[in-house]
């Protein structure tokens, strides 16, 4: 579904982020947050189908056309939440909705729980909580993360001879996507480098987290959410098998056919998600 899209850059002082703008200027303010190693094109099929919304679809820090964090910095969830708040401040949005997929959904829930007065709606796609820790020794986990940081310094990014090879790698990635979805992500994810093409995403995004919340700590964010929330669960995605977690969530839930990227993989999936969210936002 094609529609003119405005490309913008947002200078937040500590970092500059790229974004796509969709919808009427007077629409309900929405900040859209994509998943891990994706970019703003994650919403290229969905956003044009959503009615009455002014959507700012970000390239999160370290992804797409946005800047990477400075040397020595990391990609903590709290830092992403801070970025989103700074975007809202720059746009003059005191209250805004969040549309999040996967990692973007996790960031959305944490921000809505931390500052419930700022978030008007939560529209979530196949994501709610970050991976949690059971009884793992926190010192052991920190040691693992520190060793991974040291090893990363000697690694080089994969270089693909052609763009098509880079797309193939994304299709077969840790979370598989359709060819069309991979091509959309590649539009702002692949960059020319000596010898071919490489993905723009910061290599530090692949590092393990030095700390993880317990299940109770993660659920504390959910319990503080005060706004209406709608969670789309992909029938063949990451959340469907976590039935115990889903039963604990106080959010409206809709199960739709498709995989983890159901809003991006094909036009049919995007249409189903859009119908759900248009009803949720009150623009059926």
Domains in the chain with CATH codes: 6-130+215-281 (3.40.50.1820)
263 in Cβ contact with 284 (< 8 Å): no
Residue 44 vs residues 19, 49, 69, 127, 220: alpha-carbon distances, Å: 12, 9, 25, 19, 32
Residues tagged active-site: 102
Residue 1 has pLDDT above 70, yes or no: no
What's the mean pLDDT when you consider all of the chain?
A: 95
> What is the rounded CA–CA span in Å between residue 187 and residue 166?
11
Interval 29-43 mean pLDDT: 98
**Whole-prediction pTM:** 0.96
Q: What are 159-204's pLDDT values in tens digits? A: 999 999 999 999 998 888 999 999 999 999 999 999 999 999 999 9
- Average of pLDDT values for 72-87? 96
pLDDT at residue 3, rounded to an integer: 57
Q: Is 38 helix (H, G, I), strand (E, B) or coil?
A: coil
């Amino acid at each position: 579904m094609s529609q003119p899209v405005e490309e913008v850059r947002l200078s937040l002082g500590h970092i500059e982020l790229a974004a796509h703008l969709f919808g009427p200027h007077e629409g309900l303010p929405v900040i859209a947050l994509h998943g891990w190693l994706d970019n703003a094109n994650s919403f290229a099929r969905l956003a044009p189908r959503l009615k009455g919304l002014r959507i700012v679809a970000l390239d999160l820090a370290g992804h797409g056309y946005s800047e990477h964090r400075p040397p020595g910095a990391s990609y903590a969830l709290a830092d992403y939440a801070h970025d989103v708040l700074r975007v809202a401040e720059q746009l003059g949005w005191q209250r805004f909705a969040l549309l999040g997929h996967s990692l973007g959904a996790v960031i959305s829930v944490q921000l809505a729980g931390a500052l419930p007065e700022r978030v008007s709606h939560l529209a979530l796609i196949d994501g709610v909580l970050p991976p949690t820790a059971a009884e793992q020794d926190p010192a052991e986990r920190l040691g693992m993360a520190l060793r991974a940081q040291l090893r990363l310094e000697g690694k080089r990014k994969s270089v693909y001879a052609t763009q098509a090879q880079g797309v193939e790698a994304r299709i077969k990635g840790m979370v598989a996507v359709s060819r069309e979805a991979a091509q959309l992500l590649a539009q702002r994810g692949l960059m020319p480098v000596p010898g071919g093409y490489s993905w723009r995403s910061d290599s530090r995004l692949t590092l393990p987290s030095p700390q993880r919340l317990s299940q109770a700590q993660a659920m504390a964010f959910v319990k503080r959410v005060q706004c209406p929330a709608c969670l789309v669960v992909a029938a063949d995605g990451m959340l469907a098998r976590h039935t115990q977690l889903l039963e604990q969530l106080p959010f409206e839930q809709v199960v739709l056919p498709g995989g983890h990227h159901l809003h991006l993989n094909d036009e049919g999936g995007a249409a189903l998600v859009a119908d759900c969210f248009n009803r949720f936002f009150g623009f059926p």
